[in-house]
Structure 1
Amino acid sequence: MDTTASGHPTALWIVRVAALAHLALLLWEGATAGQFMTTNPGGLPLHYLGAFGVHAAAGVQVLAAAWLWWGAGRGPGGARTLLLVSAVAFVLGFPQAAMGSYGPIQAHVPVALLLTGVAVWAAVLAWRRTPASQAS
C-alpha cells in the first residue's frame, strides 16, 4: 500500500476494524430488538447496552477516518468521502437511539435501516483497495 497516496496505514486499519465492529453491533441491535419485540423482556437491557457500543464504534470510525483523510492531504477523494459517510452514520445514530427511548417507535425502525445502509456504505468505502486515493 502506498502510504503517501492513502494516508497512514494504521488509520486505514482502525477505520476498517471500526466499520466491521459498527456493522456487527448494528446486527446485535437488530437481534436484541427482535427478542423484546417477541415478548422477551430480557432483550431490552442487551439492546440498550448495545446502543452504547454502536455509538462508540461509530465514534472511533469517524476519528480514524479523519486521521486517514488528514494523512492523505485533506483533499477531495475517497478518504474525504469515507469521513463524510462515517460522520453521517455517527450523527444519525443519536436521533435514531433517542427515537427508540423517547420518540415514536414507528420511526425508530426505519431510521435503523437507514443507519445500517449508511454504515454498510462506510464499510464498503473503508475496504476499497486504497480509499484515500480514489475519487469520490
Structure 2
Amino acid sequence: MEPNTTTEPGARPLWLPLLRVATGASLAALLWEFLTAGQLITFNAAALPLHYWGAVAVHVATGAQLATALLVWRLPGAGSPSGPAHDRRVALVSLLAFVLAFPQAALGSNGPLQAHVPMALLLVAVVVWAVLLVWRRLDPR
C-alpha cells in the first residue's frame, strides 16, 4: 500500500509544493548573497558576516532542495505528473546546485574573486533551471 502523501484521492502529492518552496528558498538565499556582495564591492565591511551567513543559508537551502527532490523522485506515489524521468532530472539538477555551492563558497573565502563571481553566476543559473523544472507543468491528464 502506498503512503498517503496527498490530502484527498486524486490530489497532487504534498511533496511537490514543498519542492517548490525549497527551490524558492535556494533562489532567495542567492538573492541575499547578491545583495550583500554588492555591499562588499562598495567596501562595506559590515556586510561580510551577512554574506558569510548567507552562504550557510545557500548550503542549507540547496540541501533541502536536494532532499525534497530525491523524495519526490524516489517515494512511491510522491512523483510529479510529469513522470519519473522529469523527477530524476530535477533531482540531478538539485544535486548539481548543492555540489556547486561548496567550491563556489570556498573560492569566496580563499580564492580569487575572478573565479568566485563566475561560479556564483553558474550556481544561480543551475538553481533557476531547477525552479523552472519544478514550476513547469507537464500534466499528461
Query: TM-score band (shorter)?
Result: 0.7 to 0.9
**SS at 1:9 equivalent:** coil
Opposite residue 28 of structure 1, the aligned amino acid is W
Q: TM-score, normalised by structure 2?
A: 0.82
Superposed CA offset, 1:91-116 (max 9, x none): 00000000000112210000000000
Percent identity for Structure 1 against Structure 2: 55
**SS at 1:129 equivalent:** coil
**SS at 1:42 equivalent:** helix
Q: Which residue of 1 aligns with 2:3?
A: none
Which one scores higher on RCO, CA 8 angstroms, separation ≥ 6? 1
1:14 aligns with 2:22: no
Q: Which residue of 1 aligns with 2:127?
A: 119
> How far 1:76 sits from its partner (Å)?
4.8
Tell me, in whole angstroms, the C-alpha distance in 2 between the residues paired with 1:99 and 1:83.
25
Opposite residue 135 of structure 2, the aligned amino acid is W
Q: Which residue of 1 aligns with 2:74?
A: 70
Q: Which has the larger radius of gyration?
A: 2
Tell me, in whole angstroms, the C-alpha distance in 2 between the residues paired with 1:55 and 1:106.
21
Q: Which residue of 2 aligns with 1:90?
A: 98
> How far 1:41 sits from its partner (Å)?
0.6
- Which sections of structure 2, spanning at least 5 residues, go unmatched? 1-5, 7-11
Superposed CA offset, 1:50-79 (max 9, x none): 011111010000000000001339x85110
Q: Which residue of 2 aligns with 1:46?
A: 50
- Which sections of structure 1, spanning at least 5 residues, go unmatched? none
Confirm or deny: 8 A CA contact 2:97 2:126 kept in the other structure.
Answer: yes
Of 107, 111, 115, which residue of structure 2 is paired with 1:107? 115
Consecutive aligned runs of 4 or more in structure 1 exceeding 4 Å deviation: none
Cα-Cα RMSD:
1.9
